[in-house]
Structure 1
Amino acid sequence: MAPVADSPEILPITPKTAKSSPGVDYFDAATTTPEMVIDSLVRNGGCFVKNLLSTQEVDTIVSDIRPYIDADVAWTGDFFPKETRRVCSLAEKSPTFIHRVLANPLYLEVCDKMLSSEIESWTGDVYEKSISPPQVNATIAFSIGPGARAQGLHRDSIAHHNRHPAITAAEYKMGRDSAIDIFVAGKKATKANGTTRFIPGSHLEHYLEKPDESRAIYAEMDPGDAFIMLASCYHGGSANTTENEERLMLAGFMTKGYLRQEENMYLGVSQEAVKQYPRHIQDILGYGLSAPFLGWVDLKHPRKVLYPDEDLDDDMY
């Protein structure tokens, strides 16, 4: 563990940071829209989407990752309990997870609207407009065994060094968040077996507001249900107090295209695996360009690494 910095002064609760117990919305995948999910995320920080995956799709993903779970060893650090088993680089290991969770059209459209960035610039006398679409931040499956302690509540957005002031939902602007998470239950997820807990509304608070466990709710889900959450929300895995139940969670994370990915896709996923996916998935895995200029190889579009003969615009705006 790195040395721990001196504890900051605990911030007083101000009118902007005091919350009136925001609700958490439940939607059904067959009827919800990206706009409904975005509105809910702005107000509450997280929402549920039931029936995102079919039973067969869940079973396929679990079958894909089970050998890797069984082969993993106990975590030796403090961030996860030692009963945790993890599977990363899921683009290499479960195409069904990539197609149906990470590249789920509902999730991707929410990420596109909330994480995309646009900038205008001049190059000499030429006016340019460039768009940086979202990219994958990480992909992880978590298996939490009986006896696991609760994970400390934390914000995933600390990876991007975000220092946000407190605001109200009415003041929220697109671009404030640097990442959006999606958690899909691989098995029934309950408070008892350690499902994710999170603090609604914590995305609106000052970045150093200390998490209050009494405000946390538990993301209990049936297999195939999803929980979508802004990365600035306080959350963490809960204690698995059961004797024989595994908490199995399938997680995808998207971030802004111009930020460094939390999981290094270029080393974790082979080019052979990347080539099996359609272009829009290759782009979000990191083989697209964050315009202008970010991601080139030999001053060429990164897709040239996969397909050397493909004709692409070398100006990269």
Structure 2
Amino acid sequence: MAVDEFDYTTNPKADGIVASLVHSGGCIIRNLITDYNVLEKIENDVRPHIEADRPWIGVDFCPPETRRVMENRALSPKPYQTILCIAMYVLDCCARPTVLVSEPQLSNTIVFSIGPGAKRQELHRDDSIHHNKLPELASYHDCRIGRDTSVGLSVAGKKPTKANGATRFIPGSHLWGEERCPDEDLAYYAELQPGDAFLMLASCYHGGSANTTADEERLVYSCFMTKGFLRQEENQYLVNSLEQVKQYPRDVQKLIGYSVSKPFLGWVNLEDPIKMLYNDGKVEGNGMR
């Protein structure tokens, strides 16, 4: 099964990308970030944290040559609106029949640095964290949009290749039921240029590949969005102090969970939690509804 590619500089609209996710479960977005100064700044910011990370002991899921950096809100050089539109649609964020919108929220942020010698990660589904049990489908349209719990985005900081550990994923595996096992022969390798991105439904089987090079690093900046009424994978309220959150732009504050999932999920003192961040109380929508 083919994986579609889109050039963000000429086609920033979400509809074609959504169609690709519906068809194959993933797509390549070329030139999501074209300002290489931004990529250089991000790498300079995270490099000390990459170097400070230590291998997970006794955990096979991430090889010891992998380094991870979490808590990365400040790293997002954002085309937020397109990604939010995609997440809104594929996660089906409308609560029927009253059409109250539960907007997507950030689920996690991770920088992955995979060094030479790393073994491949086993193929897996990321929606297992939400215990998402899926029946087999002939096509995505056999079940209404909303079957998936999360959608993930990985932006290349350096050039991911098949040799240095590019994400491999199985196109069409978002249609599989629980009884089917992943087949490595079906894997597609998401090879990217710096600034390109790979977008994927969390129900697709995927995994980091082996880094068989002598001196290349696979560096990617990853985040997942999930439904506004599900628990976030990375606890956004504990990894950031209120003082830190107050420094973020309003859209980032809402994205990480400082907003009500309508009609009234996640309130604080019967108010929208974003009011905790503003002493004057002047926020759009004074109440929860």
TM-score range, shorter chain: over 0.9
The answer on 1:142 being equivalent to 2:121 is no
Q: What residue in structure 2 maps to residue 23 of structure 1?
A: 2
> 2-side partners of 1:286 and 1:174: how far apart?
23
Q: Indicate the structure (1 or 2) with the bigger Cα radius of gyration.
A: 1
> Residue 119 of structure 1 aligns with which residue?
95
Distance in structure 2 (CA, Å) of the matches to 1:295 and 1:98: 24
Shift of 1:129: 4.7
User: Where do residues 172-191 of structure 1 align in structure 2 (5 Å cutoff)?
Assistant: 172-191=143-162
Partner residue in 1 for 2:44: 63
Say yes or no: does 1:84 pair with 2:54.
no
Aligned residue number for residue 161 of structure 1: 131
Distance 2:7 2:196 in 1: 9
* Superposed structure 1 runs of 4+ greater than 4 Å apart: 311-315
Q: Partners in 2 of 1:208 and 1:58 — Cα distance?
A: 41
Give 1:247's aligned residue.
218
Q: CA deviation at 1:263?
A: 0.3
Indicate the residue corresponding to 2:86 in structure 1.
Answer: 110
Displacement of 1:116: 4.3
Supply the distance in 1 between the matched residues of 2:51 and 2:124 (Cα, whole angstroms).
27
Partner of 1:316: 288
Q: Structure 1 residues 116, 306: closer, same or farther in 2, change over 3 A?
A: farther
For residues 272 and 295 of structure 1, the distance between their equivalents in structure 2, rounded to whole angstroms, comes to: 20
Counterpart position of 1:10: none
Aligned equivalents of 1:161 and 1:246: distance in 2?
A: 33
- Distance in 1, matches of 2:152 and 2:71, equals 16
Which residue does the alignment assign to 1:16?
Answer: none
CA contact (8 A) 1:75 1:85 kept: no
Structure 2 CA distance for aligned equivalents of residues 189 and 99 of structure 1:
19
Q: Is contact 1:85-1:144 (8 Å) kept?
A: yes
Determine the C-alpha separation between the residues in 1 that align with 2:146 and 2:180: 21
Cα distance in 2, alignment partners of residues 36 and 129 from structure 1: 24
CA distance in 1, matches of 2:235, 2:278: 21
Contact 2:38/2:77 (<8 A) preserved:
no
SS in 1 for 2:47: helix
1:25 maps to a residue whose letter is D
What is the CA-CA distance between 1:314 and the residue it aligns to? Answer: 6.2
Gaps of 5+ in 2: none
Match of 1:184, SS state, is strand
1:208 is displaced (CA, Å) by: 3.3
Shift of 1:315: 4.8
Aligned residues: CA RMSD: 1.6
| Structure-1 separation of matches of 2:166 and 2:160 | 5
Structure 1 residues 116 and 64: CA distance shift in structure 2, 3 A: farther
Q: Distance in 1 between matches of 2:24 and 2:278?
A: 43
Deviations 1:210-257 (A, max 9, x none): 111110011111111000000100000000111111111110110000
Aligned partners of 2:156 and 2:197 also within 8 Å: yes
Question: 2:54 maps to which residue?
Answer: 73
Q: Bigger CA drift: 218-227 or 164-173?
A: 164-173
Counterpart-to-counterpart distance in 2, 1:159 and 1:237: 18
- Shift, 1:117, TM fit: 2.3
Helix, strand or coil: the match of 2:244?
Answer: helix
Aligned partners of 2:99, 2:222: CA distance in 1, in Å? 33
| Residue 308 to residue 209, structure 1, CA distance change in 2 (3 Å) | farther
Of 114, 122, 141, 1:152 maps to: 122
Hey, what does 2:18 align to over in structure 1?
38
Once structures 1 and 2 are overlaid, which stretch shifts more, 219-228 or 74-83? 74-83
What residue identity is the alignment partner of 1:59? E
Aligned length: 284
Match of 1:274 in 2: 245
Cα offsets for 1:11-36 (capped at 9, x unmatched): xxxxxxxxxxx210111011222000
Q: Taking every aligned residue pair, what percent have the same amino acid on both sides?
A: 50
